[in-house]
Amino acid sequence: MSTLLECRDLVCGYDKPLLQDVNLTVGAHEIVVLLGGSGCGKSTLLRTITGLLPPLSGQVLVFGESLYDLAPEERNQLLRRTGTAFQQDALFGSMSVGENIALPLRELTKLPQSMIKEMVRMKLGLVGLGGFESRLPTQLSGGQRKRAALARATILDPQLVFCDEPSAGLDPVVAASIDETLVQFRDTLGITLVVVTHVIESVRAIADRAVVLAGGRVCAAGTIAELEASTAPEVYGFFHRVPVAPHATPTTRTITRGIT
Amino acid sequence: MPPELATSVERDGRAAVVRLEGDLVVPTARALYTQLQDIARRRDVRSIVIDFARVGRIDSSGVAAVSLVGQQAKRSGRTLELRELGEHHRAAFAMSPRKVEEPPAEPPPTSFEALGDSMIATWDGAKALTSIVKDTTYQGVLVAGRRKQLPAGSVASQLFEMGFNGLFIVSLLAFLIGMTMGFQGVTQLERFGAGVFVADMLGLSMVRELAPLMTAIIITGRTGAAIAAELGTMKVRSEIDALATMGIDPNRFLILPRLLAITIAGPALTLIAMFVGMLGGMLVTSLALDLPAIAYWGRIAESVTLGDFAHGLIKAVLFSWIIAISGSHFGMRATGDPSSVGHATTRTVVVSVLSIILVDAAFATITTIAGGGP
């Protein structure tokens, strides 16, 4: 299995380190979930992996290339092989749903307009938003906006897609359909996904592997079965809904597959 | 019926036994707290016993009152004992806060550190501003060399918004300022029999100074604030991050079209303001001095040269760049907080107006030294 994403001794944060010693690899055609409580640094790690927040130290390798050692144009070229769906959906409010999804195609390819329209229709159909091309993002529900954001993130058929909290704040039915769409992306388009979430039902539904973040570092990683069986307090608490004392620091580190 | 709580205090040696009867809830908790505090302060009391046998409901205010008295007693070396607690009383007391080891708070910065922080923030701002100017210029060169393209229709739509939609307000203000200047000029100059020179004064002041400055201030309020608010909102909504992760340069996609549009719209509006301002002055002079329009425009043609127009239009371009770059810089520096969009807008207006007036003063100084008049 080829490695699409690798973090080596990564330290990330804004002014001060929020996460330290992050070492992880993501192979092709798998769904890896970054799991952890609110404020544990999941989204910060995702911003670092997606090229938005330079690491304080360490390396992010995307398709084997060190993301932050590339010149801006080379980095842009590399990022075009990835897609990102943001927690806030980040759809452009001044554009229709169709225009939003077509944007990467219009800006980054020389495909004819007719082909772009067809591709947009196809992707919207895949996420269950067929016929929504001309609507504005403000005319969509929260779940529909998340779906539209997923369609935009995958419009260039990237090999690697990052999703920040795709099912957070949605009702269980809509959340389940988003999870189903993510699995469909992997199964039908062969897309590798790195998904940030704290919704444990979603983790069980989509993840091949999960990486648990707590106390400013990776405290566990492995398959869902391995993590469900873990006795480390942070992992056990997460999977079995047991509260952990505030300000507690991790006491056990369960190193399993996927962490080097 | 409001809840009531009756208390009786009995002495048992050096212990004070407080018997409660009723509900220990918000309406009754304060009186009990005061009474217990008084008891805890008495020198002849070494321990306080509270009897809960006849207490009905107890809420968090009751728990807080007893908990605080317990802490006060402990500090002064006394003891507090709770007797005859029922199941629901115990459950309520289980809510009382336990001592949790809080992470050490960061000490507030010293004045020296605060100065350092503000210098670092200023340096970061300067770096970000330089980066926007450098990257946008680079993207402009790529677009000019046809190696990159601007988003289709982006310059035209910005031009329509900045130029056409601002035409009415710029014209109205220029016309009114021209009229005001005309009234002032006629009143003052006619005293010296030089009323006809109002046309010269109006022409020169509108073309060289007033039209560029006034138009720039209107553009700052309309367009500069709009650029900051649009980009700030996009930043807060992660739309700019989305562009970056798509591999699309936000400077080319968002800033360059605005910069190009304002470079056209600013001087165009200024040129219109020059003529409309002179038109306002003409209306006044023709009414007050019976000066024919042809004579008015003839005097302007004699006194205002093409160099004066160039002077005004060059300033208009500089002012437009200041506005676009300020709006873009502050908009792009908005953080995740929606109020940062408001701050970005305010800063854009303040910094733009200040910079415009400074540049105007510098321009006047340089051209005067160079012999071209202020």
A219 to chain B nearest CA, in Å? 20
Burial track A20-37 (b if 16+ CB lie within 10 A, e otherwise): bebbbbbbebbbbbbbbe
User: What is the model's pLDDT at position B65?
Assistant: 87
* Interchain CB contact of B237 with A (< 8 Å): yes
Question: Rounded to whole angstroms, how far apart are CA atoms A175 and A179?
Answer: 6
User: Do A90 and B102 make contact, defined as CB atoms within 8 angstroms?
Assistant: no
A107 to chain B nearest CA, in Å? 7
User: Do A93 and B237 make contact, defined as CB atoms within 8 angstroms?
Assistant: yes
Residue of A nearest to B149 (CA): A107
**Residue the block writes with tokens 């009391």:** B45
Selecting from B239, B241, B244 the residue whose C-beta is nearest the C-beta of A92 gives B239
Q: Give the helix/strand (H/E) hosting B28.
A: helix B26-41
pLDDT band at A257 (very low <50, low <70, confident <90, very high): very low
Q: Is the pLDDT of residue A65 over 50?
A: yes
User: What is the model's pLDDT at position A57?
Assistant: 94
β-pair type (A57-62, A65-66): antiparallel
Task: Give the 3-state secondary structure of residue A35.
Answer: strand
Cα dihedral value A40, A44, A46, A49, nearest 10: -130
User: Do A51 and B245 make contact, defined as CB atoms within 8 angstroms?
Assistant: yes
Instruction: Pick from A49, A50, A107, A146 the residue to mutate for testing the B interface (most B CBs within 10 Å).
Output: A107
Question: Rounded to whole angstroms, how far apart are CA atoms B271 and B315?
Answer: 11
* Interchain CB contact of B23 with A (< 8 Å): no
What would the pLDDT profile of A177-232 be if each residue is shown by its tens digit? 889 989 988 988 889 999 998 888 889 999 999 999 988 899 889 998 888 888 88
DSSP state, residue B110 = P
Selecting from B101, B237, B246 the residue whose C-beta is nearest the C-beta of A247 gives B101
Q: What is the full DSSP assignment across B243-297?
A: HHHTT--HIIIIIHHHHHHHHHHHHHHHHHHHHHHHHHHHHHHHHHS---HHHHH
> Mean pLDDT across the stretch A4-23?
92
B150 to chain A nearest CA, in Å? 9
Q: Is the pLDDT of residue A45 over 90?
A: yes
Chunked mean pLDDT (size 10), chain B, 374 residues: 85 88 89 89 89 89 88 88 88 72 74 90 91 91 86 90 93 94 87 82 92 96 95 92 91 94 96 95 87 88 92 95 96 86 94 95 88 63
Residue of A nearest to B100 (CA): A246
A225 to chain B nearest CA, in Å? 33
* Interchain CB contact of A14 with B (< 8 Å): no
Q: Residues with Cβ < 8 Å from B175, sequence gap 6 or more?
A: B276, B277, B279, B280
Instruction: Pick from B245, B256, B258 the residue to mutate for testing the A interface (most A CBs within 10 Å).
Output: B245
User: What is the model's pLDDT at position B189?
Assistant: 84
Selecting from B101, B152, B241 the residue whose C-beta is nearest the C-beta of A52 gives B241
Q: What is the ipTM of this complex?
A: 0.82
Q: Is the pLDDT of residue A139 over 90?
A: yes
User: What is the model's pLDDT at position B103?
Assistant: 65
Residue of B nearest to A104 (CA): B246
Mean pLDDT of chain A: 87
Provide the whole-model pTM: 0.78
A240 to chain B nearest CA, in Å? 24
Beta partners for residue A13, in sequence order: A17
Selecting from A47, A76, A152 the residue whose C-beta is nearest the C-beta of B247 gives A76
User: Do A107 and B100 make contact, defined as CB atoms within 8 angstroms?
Assistant: no
Instruction: Pick from B239, B252, B254 the residue to mutate for testing the A interface (most A CBs within 10 Å).
Output: B239
Q: Is the pLDDT of residue A253 over 60?
A: no
Residues 87-146 of B with CB under 8 A from A: 100-103
User: What is the model's pLDDT at position A245?
Assistant: 55
* Interchain CB contact of A155 with B (< 8 Å): no
Instruction: Pick from A88, A161, A247 the residue to mutate for testing the B interface (most B CBs within 10 Å).
Output: A88
* Interchain CB contact of A247 with B (< 8 Å): yes
